[in-house]
Amino acid sequence: MALPWPANQRVRQIRLVGPPSYSSNCASGSYCGSGDWGGFGSPEQYGPYFVESATLELYRDGALVHTVSVGRINPRSDGGTLIELATSLVIDRLRLTINNTSGRWYWSQVAALNEIEVIGQAAEPWPLRQIWQAWLPLVRQ
C-alpha cells in the first residue's frame, strides 16, 4: 500500500493502527463496542488477528530515503504502533508492505490496518504572499 502527497512533508512520527479485537463477552456474540463487527478474529481458537511484521519505506522524489522494520501493529486501544524517527525526514510518499500476519477471519488468513497517521508538517512554509492573499478577503469582511 502506497500513500503519496502532492507536496513534500516533514515527518517525525508515524502511527499505525490495527483493528480492535472482537469481544465475545457480549450477549449472543454480537458487536458491542470492540472488535470488527463480530466476525474478525473468529472462531476464537484462531485468536484475534494482527499484522505481526511489516516494512515501512519512506520516499522523496521517487528515491527511497529510509526503511523501518515494524513489529506487531496494535489497535488504537493499545495506543497503536508509534514509529519515531531519529530525525525529521522530508518525504512525499510512504509504502507499507505487510510481511507476516497472525489470526484468522473465519477460515481465511487476513491482514487489516485501520489507520496510518503521519505526524508532521509541510516541508516548505507558505510564502507570506500566499497567506496574505488567502486571508486578506476574510479580514476585509
- Tell me: the pLDDT tens digits for 48-99? 778 999 999 999 999 999 999 999 999 888 889 999 999 999 999 999 999 9
Element (H, E) at 129: helix 128-140
The sign of the CA dihedral 7, 2, 113, 78 is: negative
Mean pLDDT over 32-53 rounds to 63
Domain spans of the chain?
2-140
CA-based nearest residue to 36, from 54, 24, 52, 46? 24
Tell me: pLDDT of 17 over 90. yes
Pick the CATH number of 2-140 from 1.10.110, 3.40.50, 2.60.120, 3.90.1600: 2.60.120
Considering only residues 4 and 68, tell me which one the structure prediction assigns the higher pLDDT: 68
- The grid coordinates listed for 12 are 517525525
